[in-house]
Chains A and B, each alone.
Chain A
Amino acid sequence: MTTTLTAPAVPTRRRVLPRGFAHGGLLLVLVAIIVFASLRTDAFLSTNNLLNVLRQVSVVAVIAAGLTLLMTAGGMDFSMGGNVAVTTAVAAQLFAHGQSIWLTVVVSIALATVIGLVNGAVVTFTGVAPFVATLATATLLDGVALLVINGLSVSIDDQLSALGIGKTFGLPNLLIVAIAVLAVTAFVMRYTTFGRDAFAIGGNEDVARLSGITVARDKLLLYGLAGALSGLAGIMLLARLGASSPGTGGLQLQLTAVAAVVIGGTSLAGGKGTVFGTVLGVLLLGVVANVLNLLQINSYYQQISVGAVLLIAAVANLLQRRRH
Chain B
Amino acid sequence: MTAEDPVVRVSDISKSFGGAVALRDVSLELFSGEVHALMGMNGAGKSTLVRILSGAQNADSGVMEIGGTAAGQLTARKARKLGIATVPQRRELVMTLTVAENIMLGDLPTRTSLVRWKPVRQLARQALRDLGIDVDVDALAGDLTVAEQTMVEVAREVRRGGRVLILDEPTACLGAEAAAQIHALVGRLCEAGVAVVFISHHIAEVLALADRITVLRDGRVVWGGQAKETDEAGLVRSMVGRDVVSTKPPRSIKKEQIGLRISDVGEGRFIEDFSVEVRQGEVVAVLGPAGDAQSRLFDLLSGRRRPDRGRLEVNGRHVRFGKVGRSLSSGLRCVTGDRRRLGLIPELTVDENLMLARDRLDRRRLHRRDRLARRAAPLRDDYRVVTLTPNPPVGLLSGGNQQKVLLAKWLGTEPVACLLEDPTNGVDIAAMADIHTLVDGLAAAGVAVLLASSDADEVMRLADRVVVVRDGRTIAEYDIDRISRDELVAVALGGAIS
Contacts and interface: CB of A to CB of B under 8 A. Distances in A.
B351 A11 contact: yes
B207 interface: no
A70 B336 CA distance: 28
Interface string A1-18: 111011111111011000
A150 interface: no
B391 interface: yes
Contacts of A199: 345, 347-348
Contact of B346 (A7, A9, A11, A203): A203
Contacts of B123: none
A178 B295 CA distance: 51
B72 interface: no
Contacts of B218: 2, 5
Contact of A193 (B365, B374, B377, B389): B365
A12 B387 contact: no
B367 A9 contact: no
Interface stretch (B25-33, B152-160, B378-386): B378-386
A272 B347 CA distance: 8
A311 to B, nearest CB: 25
Interface residues on A, range: 35 or more
Contacts of A192: 365-367
A208 B409 CA distance: 13
A234 B352 CA distance: 37
B468 interface: no
Interface stretch (B50-58, B140-148, B355-363): B355-363
Contacts of B388: 5
Interface stretch (A20-28, A84-92, A209-217, A296-304): A209-217
Task: Choose among A192, A210, A271 the residue with the greatest number of B CB atoms under 10 Å from its CB.
Answer: A210
A9 B43 contact: no
A204 interface: yes
A214 B341 CA distance: 18
Contacts of A271: 345, 347
Given A12-B369, A203-B347, A208-B345, A3 B384 contact: yes
B324 interface: yes
B376 A9 contact: yes
B35 interface: no
A214 B334 CA distance: 17
A207 interface: yes
A204 B395 CA distance: 12
Given A207-B342, A212-B325, A9 B366 contact: no
A11 B390 contact: yes
Given A203-B345, A212-B328, A11 B384 contact: no
B304 A210 contact: yes
B387 A207 contact: no
B64 interface: no
Contact of A6 (B344, B361, B370, B384): B384
A280 interface: no
B368 interface: yes
B380 A6 contact: yes
Contacts of A250: none
Interface in B109-139: none
A195 interface: yes
B373 interface: yes
A141 interface: no
Nearest to B357: A211
Contact of A191 (B302, B368, B374, B389): B368
Nearest to A200: B345
Given A203-B345, A212-B361, A271-B345, A193 B325 contact: no
The 3 A-B residue pairs with the shortest CB-CB distance, nearest first, are: A9-B373, A203-B345, A212-B360
Interface of B: 41, 43-44, 217-218, 241, 302, 304, 324-325, 328, 334, 336, 341-349, 351-352, 356-357, 359-361, 364-370, 373-374, 376-377, 380-381, 384-391, 409
